[in-house]
Chains A and B, each alone.
Chain A
Amino acid sequence: QSVLTQPPSVSGAPGQRVTISCTGSSSNIGAGYDVHWYQQLPGTVPKVLIYGNNIRPSGVPDRFSGSRSGTSASLAITGLQAEDEADYYCQSYDRSLSGYVLFGGGTKLTVL
């Protein structure tokens, strides 16, 4: 079964820029399937932050941006704020084994 690999943790100071990577394979991201990103604030329900690789839903600040290239994707956060401290998950679709949705393992963002 395929996996999406994220770093367990990243950190940055307020105002800085951080990126979170999401590495897949030729049966998911590399096959052209979209990557989506979710933000989960402590004790809350995951919320879609980026969909379709780089589209922000209404209400999501433009400090958040997404990209996809080859078998990987990235989430970038600029102008880091204390309220950005959360868990971030990438998600895509895998075409193997009749097809299934898969999530990355999640990345804990700490704002120093």
Chain B
Amino acid sequence: QVQLQESGPGLVKPSQTLSLTCTVSGGSISSGNYYWSWIRQPAGKGLEWIGRIYTSGTTNYNPSLKSRVTISVDTSKNQFSLKLSSVTAADTAVYYCARGSVFNWFDPWGQGTLVTVSS
């Protein structure tokens, strides 16, 4: 079955850009009627949707993060990526990648990766 795995630096300095990649295994990122999302969760807090990308390249972002977020896809590598610019301590969170269905529910999820914003 499809599995997702996040990768990227665990520590980012304030004002810099957070960059993460999600690698999809067990199936093609282009198959089926799905999209690919990033979701984050600060410690002890709830889930926040960051954005999504279709393999066509179409994106949608959380309005509260839209000015700082870029999501891209590389179908040849079966990967999609997140860039979040001008980070602050408030961006410290576990970042998950997940597959979204046409009815907008998410399954599966990656295991999550903790990104800490600190100097």
Contacts and interface: CB of A to CB of B under 8 A. Distances in A.
**Size range of the chain A interface in the assembly:** 20 to 34
Interface string A84-104: 000001011100011111111
With a 10 A CB-CB cut-off, give which of A1, A33, A51, A89 has the most chain B CB atoms: A51
Contacts, number: 65
Interface string B24-48: 0000000000000101000000111
B101 to A, nearest CB: 8
A45 B47 CA distance: 11
| Category for how many chain B residues contact A | 20 to 34
A45 B37 CA distance: 15
Contact of A100 (B61, B103, B105): B61
**5 cross-chain pairs, A with B, having the tightest CB-CB distances, nearest first:** A36-B105, A101-B49, A106-B46, A51-B105, A103-B47
Interface of A: 1, 33-34, 36, 38, 45-48, 51-52, 57, 89, 91-93, 97-106
6 contacts: A1-B63, A47-B109, A51-B107, A91-B105, A98-B63, A101-B37
